[in-house]
Structure 1
Amino acid sequence: MITYQLINTLAQADAASHLIARSACQHLPGTALINEMRAQKSVADTRFGCAPFTRITLLPDALWKDNLTESLLNALRPIFADPVSETVIIDVTEIDDTVLAQLLRFVFNQAHRLSDLQLKKPDASAIRLRHISALCLPEQQAHVESVFRQQQAIANGMIAARRLSDMPSDRCTPQFVVEESQRLCAAFPSLRCESLDEKQIVEQGLGLLHAVGKGAACPPRLLAIHYDGIKDGPVRCYVGKGITFDTGGLWLKDGAGMYTMKYDMCGAANVMGLMLTIAELNLPVRVMGVLALAENAIGSDAMQPGTVARACNGMTVEINNTDAEGRLVLADAIAWASQRHPQAHYIIDIATLTGAVVKALGYELSGLMTQHEPLRQSLTAAGVKSGDEVWSLPLDARLKKQTESAIADLCNTPTNNAAISASAAWLLHHFCPPSIAWAHLDISGTALWREGGKSVASGRPIPLLTEHLLGDIQKG
């Protein structure tokens, strides 16, 4: 875990730290080196002649105000990839609040590396960031302290989710996710876990979750994580897609399409991480997180195209494409959550659901689909404030034909291959009662961080959902 302290002068910082500041920062010593670095119009970075610091990085002032393109983070990524000190000093005297939140999450997330999974021989000489000193003005201290505390809790939840998501799928089975979640939740007395095994899934009528998971050697699971920060009040529900590996089933993916499919459980992992963040912040609210866990595998018991399965709310779905399995497990989990809490304040589901949303929005924006306008507006505003943004796609009765089936209440994919993302959301909306506000987040583009041809889990949209929850609590 990375620790932090707030300082008002550079003299208060640890010796031999890496100093990161605005080019115009007034707290910097007026040395010839600093003046030379300030004269540069781009990022200035040196490890030589910068005593008492180990390294000095000066970045143009504009980067500290850019809350749209993450230009500050993009400049810092290669620098943090090879740190030279365990301690860093960050100038936060003049920085946009959204950029500050993004920066802190980025820095706190340095606590997780793929090598931590212990699947690769470790580099004993590698330097890890251990401590942050934040240079701020005395009148900023209370605000900066609040932002640090909140963003560290968010980053801790993101790291837990990222570690789980980055784990290879031969280890990260549905049961492994349950056990790891139980282990992490045990650190917080306010969290309690409830799990359903494959028999209980059938007994409780979760026929869609059962259909997806029954072909795998590792059977499906449903995990509910309960948080009671207050005794009474409406429950806010989050549902995550947890396909621990997706072959496509009998609608088999090609090899390239399967390579990152261990990440098809990022939605569920992020719900788990969100619950840890909520508990760490000790928020005065009641929350339930539901993880719908299954492996979409090939086998003699695998679901077949044309199968009709029944959800726990009684609706039937014709499975005309076994590679559209995520919406099936989500549908059952949404219906199950609404039955557990029929007076829920809202249900928000999170899923790496469709490649189509990436084609529409790219890798920076999560797709938002809902028919509840207040929820749309509040999630959009929270995305802007947190720097973890969403973009709305349409969701109305014009999509009805996309889910019509001649043999069942619904079919799981449109036969015309059009409006894939919105059609999936249209299917899902049937499983949340109209009395409960519901929104769907398609995070296929944002759940991973892509760099240098490699992908790792990003932990998004935990920042968005935490910011939204904090705002929702303030509204009362």
Structure 2
Amino acid sequence: MNISSITHAPDQCKSDMIIIGHFQDDNSNAHINTLEQSIQDQFKARLANKDFSGKSGQTLTLYSTSGTRVEILGLGKNDKCSPSSLYTLTQKVSAIAAKSRCSSVCNYLTALNFEQINNTLKHKLVCLATSHAAYRYEDTKNFKADNVHHIESLQVFTEDGHASAVEQASAMSAGIEACRHLANNPPNICNPQYMADYATDIANTHDRCEINILEEAQMEEMGMGALLAVGRGSVNPSKLIVLKYNGGGDAKPFALVGKGITFDTGGISLKPGPNMDEMKYDMGGAASVIGAFKAVAELQLPINLITIVAAVENMPDGDAYRPGDVVTSYSGKTIEVLNTDAEGRMILCDALTYAQEFEPQVILDLATLTGACVVALGHHASGVMTKTDGLAADIINAGQEVHDRAWELPLWDDYQKQLDTTFADMKNIGGFPAGTITAGCFLSRFTDGQNWAHIDIAGTAWNNKKQGATGRPVSMLVQYLINQA
């Protein structure tokens, strides 16, 4: 979907649908008053007859004499309209546009002043919510032509120098779409090689980008024993995908590291059958960092960025790693495997160690790592863990700026003892209590001295089988990097 800014009034729009917002119990609407008299008369009559009041979620459809559809969206009372409300309501009206076969939309929700939402955020929310609602997974599904429609262009009313917010949201939307594409594809298609090919296409399409892919033989020679152990049971070779964006001259890069388990059976510690199909989403961290990389490359931010994806499939066969195995990581530290379903931290520890070779100023790792994070935070917030003062606040604040929220969990040394074992430097699980935090503690042992944060997106990367991948937290990552730039 092409997203752009406009500054003209609704009466000058040349689109299939014009969207105008209306607060509850307002007696007039400045933007409706710019439209032809027949529209104004219809609107006033509906208000007078109390057919429409602007209650949150109400919609009113009017048509101009030329056939342009004007969709008026009720926003409720201004002091009650939160970022969540605006995002949800924009999705609703955008879905109406798609179902009504409107390929072009002019959105004037941004023309309103919201008491709870600043001007930059309202522009980004409208763009991101429209893009999210317009997304349709099609890769492995046959549609009849008359049942499929896309919003091809979105024009957002912009004033007071907020065109950059629309530009940023447009790039974020492209990154989110890339993330959802990767995560929603089935594991027989989106395997490690597919992810490597997709990342290669991004690098070849954008300026200042390059890519390097480490194959199993090279990783074996380097000593990445933890990552390679996880992939031993699969016929699909593991990959370490390294994307580089060079926009910051000699500055030290930012590093994003993503967990890319393209399918997770649990290995020998086999998962239960029900809902195992959802383990195609276990590469949500990898998908999100690839999406963020794409957005940064489109924006041509003045930073350097390293994006590392550990792409591995966790399968059980005669060569699969076992509970009780002790493996040696790339760092040289040994790990006792007590559960082969705690595989994400195994591949991440080697990827995190490798990331440090680029001397990054910050490392963020993204992973659908623990079910315990879903228990703790549900599907609303990602979990952030770090030992670096201020880093969690920077990440969380960036998320607030695009309504992609996160919450900090403690990473105290008190939890570290749960990883102690007689037979290795550490074990790969810390037991039932505080499972999300002990997973973070495990990763922290491979990031000594680094400005590093771990972001657990197990509850936010996907919602359900109907909606699928959410594309989170691409917008949070991109906003964080914009702020740093």
Indicate whether the TM-score tops 0.5.
Answer: yes
Contact 2:57 2:89 (C-alpha < 8 Å) held by counterparts: no
- Aligned partner of 1:33 in structure 2 is 42
- Aligned to 1:429, which of 428, 438, 444? 444
What does 1:53-68 align with in structure 2 at a 5 Å threshold?
53-62=68-77, 65-68=81-84
Q: Deviations over 1:308-356 (max 9, x none)?
A: 1111110111110000100111111001111x22x32011000000111
> Take 2:460 and 2:97, find their aligned partners in 1: how far apart are those partners?
21
Aligned CA distance change for structure 1 residues 53 and 62 (closer, same or farther; 3 Å): farther
The code of the aligned residue for 1:12 comes to Q
- Aligned partner of 1:381 in structure 2 is 397
- Aligned partner of 1:12 in structure 2 is 12
Q: Deviations over 1:18-45 (max 9, x none)?
A: 4242345411036243231553524332
> Take 1:455 and 1:300, find their aligned partners in 2: how far apart are those partners?
36
1:254 partnered with 2:272: yes
- Aligned partner of 1:172 in structure 2 is 190
What does 1:138-157 align with in structure 2 at a 5 Å threshold?
140-143=159-162, 145-157=163-175
- Aligned partner of 1:285 in structure 2 is 303
Q: Residue 309 of structure 1 aligns to a residue in which SS?
A: strand
- Aligned partner of 2:426 in structure 1 is 410
- Aligned partner of 1:82 in structure 2 is 99
> Take 1:80 and 1:421, find their aligned partners in 2: how far apart are those partners?
40
The code of the aligned residue for 2:131 comes to F
Aligned CA distance change for structure 1 residues 467 and 49 (closer, same or farther; 3 Å): closer
1:131 partnered with 2:153: yes
Shift of 1:461: 0.8
Contact 1:45 1:55 (C-alpha < 8 Å) held by counterparts: no
The code of the aligned residue for 2:330 comes to C
Identity %: 31
Contact 1:2 1:108 (C-alpha < 8 Å) held by counterparts: no
- Listed as ranges, the gaps of 5+ residues in structure 1 are none
- Aligned partner of 2:484 in structure 1 is 472
Aligned CA distance change for structure 1 residues 73 and 352 (closer, same or farther; 3 Å): farther
Q: Residue 365 of structure 2 aligns to a residue in which SS?
A: strand
Contact 2:261 2:312 (C-alpha < 8 Å) held by counterparts: yes
The code of the aligned residue for 2:403 comes to G
Shift of 1:368: 0.4
Contact 2:91 2:133 (C-alpha < 8 Å) held by counterparts: no
- Aligned partner of 1:440 in structure 2 is 454
Aligned CA distance change for structure 1 residues 301 and 472 (closer, same or farther; 3 Å): same
Aligned CA distance change for structure 1 residues 4 and 83 (closer, same or farther; 3 Å): farther
- Aligned partner of 1:98 in structure 2 is 121
What does 1:57-456 align with in structure 2 at a 5 Å threshold?
57-62=72-77, 65-68=81-84, 70-73=87-90, 75-76=92-93, 78-80=95-97, 82-91=99-108, 92-94=110-112, 95=114, 96=117, 97-110=120-133, 112-115=135-138, 117-136=139-158, 140-143=159-162, 145-338=163-356, 340-341=357-358, 343-415=359-431, 417-434=432-449, 436-450=450-464, 454-456=466-468
The code of the aligned residue for 1:440 comes to H
> Take 1:376 and 1:465, find their aligned partners in 2: how far apart are those partners?
12
What does 1:32-51 align with in structure 2 at a 5 Å threshold?
32-35=41-44, 36=46, 38-47=52-61, 49=63, 51=65
Aligned CA distance change for structure 1 residues 22 and 285 (closer, same or farther; 3 Å): same
Aligned CA distance change for structure 1 residues 402 and 77 (closer, same or farther; 3 Å): farther
Q: Residue 59 of structure 2 aligns to a residue in which SS?
A: strand
Q: Residue 132 of structure 1 aligns to a residue in which SS?
A: strand
Q: Residue 262 of structure 1 aligns to a residue in which SS?
A: helix
> Take 1:93 and 1:305, find their aligned partners in 2: how far apart are those partners?
59
Contact 2:94 2:134 (C-alpha < 8 Å) held by counterparts: no
Q: Deviations over 1:197-241 (max 9, x none)?
A: 111111111111100001101011100101110220111111000
Q: TM-score under structure 1 normalisation?
A: 0.92
> Take 1:273 and 1:162, find their aligned partners in 2: how far apart are those partners?
9
- Bigger mean CA deviation after superposition, 373-382 or 73-82: 73-82
Q: CA RMSD in A?
A: 2.0
Q: Deviations over 1:238-277 (max 9, x none)?
A: 1000000000001111122412111100111111111111
> Take 1:141 and 1:370, find their aligned partners in 2: how far apart are those partners?
37
> Take 1:358 and 1:157, find their aligned partners in 2: how far apart are those partners?
24
> Take 1:254 and 1:431, find their aligned partners in 2: how far apart are those partners?
31
Contact 2:398 2:476 (C-alpha < 8 Å) held by counterparts: yes
- Bigger mean CA deviation after superposition, 183-192 or 241-250: 183-192
- Aligned partner of 2:36 in structure 1 is none
Aligned residues: 462
Contact 1:174 1:293 (C-alpha < 8 Å) held by counterparts: yes
